[in-house]
Structure 1
């Protein structure tokens, strides 16, 4: 009886081996044929051999960059992270980094891009929105006392190029001269006022900004 058991086991192993060989070596269905045209064995073989492919979530984005200081003469170690601090008696949270500097200190582009919008608002006062070349970031410069001569929407900007001057416009408070610098993560198809705000402090402090 034991010998018969071994024989049966050997036959089972042989059948399994033939089945695996069929799965591996059976030719694919002709190119362009539909799934319905494949035999059950072919469909099973394709299902067994299929493996998920990794997705590059950075596809289509630009290279990482290092932000420069957006206010002339201010050192990185002079910055303070004020992200999330309460403003207007706790009715809103601060979404940006305030760079303190005397009135009319030059404000320069922290990174290259295109001037997407020049805007004057109750909150930000005189502002500039610069879109990164890959359109995946918007750099926001607010509370300016004025723009650089000739600055206009659609203008291509190099890192370090003059955008305007430190001021106290908008809700900054009279005499509270500073630049409010903001970062917004955007989809290339989004408008200048859309996207997700991101704390700019780590990137102004020297962390590379993803593309």
Structure 2
């Protein structure tokens, strides 16, 4: 087998494999481009492919194309999210997921891999810009066989996570994407379930809006530092009563603690996360209400922002995997007429396509009770696991009426694996209108024009 370049030249596969093994064993410092520390592992690997001229091979071009496609057409998902998939060695691929996280939250990504020869996986997180959606900005990356990544969200913009393995290695992966608060909860022993009054609610008969959240707890419960910082102000005001201001230099913001029964810090004091700043009370204009903490966040030069995402921990676990992992990277077929392919693994998600019974789809991964599939035209979407079956049992066996090429894909321009002669017997595995997925007498799987059976 030869890997074609874009020109008439070609590299024998043993040379490609040898060069890739050399790339995998070289440290970034041993390459010219490795001196640029801002490069991600993915960028260094792509640069090394180019230096070795492997980007001119068919395999290298497929790797580059898969990388771009994962960013151009990521699947939309809702967090928390968990998916198991498979990277085949013989077909360069990448997975892309698009999601939005609230400002004040951090996204946490974990990737686990399995297999006899586990590939190095490149994990990159991108931020998109509505003004220039075709040019996402990389904001975080990781690349090891045990991947973890955390990133604090600065703006509530769509983000794209891309997973891509090195060439010529296969393996199963499970990616988990969750969110968490960037700050610790400001009341000892409590969490966001203790919040009873939220951002933006009316105050003073609608004369003003609530610029914070109210957290209720017994009187004199310790109120604690949500972040390492410096106490900038300790005083008493008519509205806030006994208050403490804590400066969060890292995020360029101030945290406001109001209605305290007493304060236990001094201006200029440096505190660590969890240090007591004061005790819960109802001073100031909260004198007629139960003891609670008014907690606010004021960003330098911008004013108040909703503090709830900054301290809210979502305890909803990702959906447990319910699909059959033996179907990963395998062809399957639809079992019912008018089966909907959806953009995301949820019945509420938009419809991407409608398939007829026995239509073939290739399984790329699974999330909860949904399969992520690739259609014959290359599009990706999700189908409920109950609507697919394996193709081990053929739909029928028949003899061809005329000579037919056994194609690699359901495209008349696709390369032919071989030519089947008239009267050749094939087992039909799945059907499209113009092409059928079949297996010949030698066990070779491919596509034939449906006209060859008539």
Structure 1 length-normalised TM: 0.60
The one of 253, 257, 274 aligned to 1:137: 253
Within the alignment, does 1:181 sit opposite 2:295 as a pair?
A: yes
CA–CA distance in structure 1, aligned partners of residues 277 and 227 of structure 2? 12
Instruction: Provide closer, same or farther for how the CA distance between residues 205 and 81 of structure 1 changes in structure 2, counting only shifts above 3 A.
Output: farther
The CA distance in 2 between the partners of 1:179 and 1:133, in whole Å, is 22
Match of 2:279 among 154, 165, 189: 165
Unaligned runs of 5+ in 2: 1-134, 140-150, 153-180, 315-454
Give the corresponding residue for 1:206: 313
Q: Secondary structure at the match of 2:310?
A: helix
Residues 1:135 and 1:201: Cα distance change in structure 2 (over 3 Å):
closer
SS at match of 1:171: helix
Distance (Å, rounded) in 2 between the aligned partners of 1:172 and 1:200: 19
CA deviations 1:115-166 (Å, max 9, x no partner) are 0111211110000000013360100000000011xx1111111010000001
Alignment of 1:50-129 (within 5 A): 64=152, 66-80=182-196, 82-129=198-245
Aligned to 1:190: none
1:3-52 deviations in Å (ceiling 9; x for gaps): xxxxxxxxxxxxxxxxxxxxxxxxxxxxxxxxxxxxxxxxxxxxxxxxxx
Quickly say closer, same or farther: Cα 1:86–1:185, change in 2 above 3 A: same
Distance 1:79 1:104 in 2: 17
1:175 CA displacement: 4.5
Measured in 2, the distance between the counterparts of 1:87 and 1:76 equals 21
Q: Distance in 2 between matches of 1:79 and 1:132?
A: 22
CA deviations on 1:162-211 (whole Å, 9 max, x unpaired) are 00001000111334210000001115xxxxxxx4100001111038xxxx
Q: Give yes or no for contact 1:67–1:206 (8 Å, CA) kept in 2.
A: no
Shift of the 81–204 alpha-carbon distance from structure 1 to 2, 3 Å rule, reads: farther
Structure 1 segments (4+ residues) deviating >6 Å: none
SS at 2:284 equivalent:
coil
Instruction: Indicate the residue corresponding to 1:146 in structure 2.
Output: 262
RMSD: 2.3
Distance 1:112 1:68 in 2: 10
Q: Deviations over 1:62-104 (max 9, x none)?
A: x847211111121233334611111112211100010001111
2:103 match = none
- Counterpart CA distance in 1 for 2:216 and 2:204 is 19
Question: How many residues get paired?
Answer: 139
What is the CA–CA distance in structure 2 between the aligned matches of 1:72 and 1:183, rounded to whole Å? Answer: 18
The structure with more strand, counted as a fraction of residues: 2
Instruction: Return the TM-score normalized by structure 2.
Output: 0.29
Say which structure, 1 or 2, has more relative contact order (CA 8 Å, 6+ apart): 1
